[in-house]
Amino acid sequence: MDHDLFKELVQKEVKRIEAELIEFAKYMRELKVSGEVKSTHAHKPGEGVISTADKEKASLIITGSRGLGKIRRTFLGSCSDYILHHASCPVLVCTGEHHLTEK
């Protein structure tokens, strides 16, 4: 893949994620929930979440679940499962078929 094209795709994805974080923060304010919305970049997402939560001294981690079946989870691993087993604070795993943008 062309280096410039790759760089452009990464920049678009970063902007999309930033916009989504802003929407999550707005939604939290609407619900009168205090806290911070964070995004982390890591080779292994579960480890990145745990590292960020520990660094920020999080009192709660809220994460989503893709709803992988047992077989897929065994082969692919589960980020939410990793977080549940390694977090030093309570974890809330949200499931559902609707995304925030569909509210």
Residue 89's pLDDT band (boundaries 50, 70, 90)?
very high
What pLDDT is recorded for position 103? 45
- Does 88 lie in the same domain as 75? yes
**pTM for this model (two decimals):** 0.71
Residue 61's pLDDT band (boundaries 50, 70, 90)?
very high
What pLDDT is recorded for position 102? 47
CA pair distance 51, 88, nearest whole angstrom? 10
pLDDT at 46 over 90: yes
Within-domain flag for 8: yes
CA pair distance 4, 89, nearest whole angstrom? 41
Within-domain flag for 103: no
CA pair distance 95, 67, nearest whole angstrom? 7
Number of separate domains in the chain: 2
Do 70 and 81 touch, CB atoms closer than 8 A? no
**Domain region containing 22:** 1-35
Helix (H, G, I), strand (E, B) or coil at 71: helix
Within-domain flag for 48: yes
What pLDDT is recorded for position 97? 63
Owner of token pair 């974080």: 21
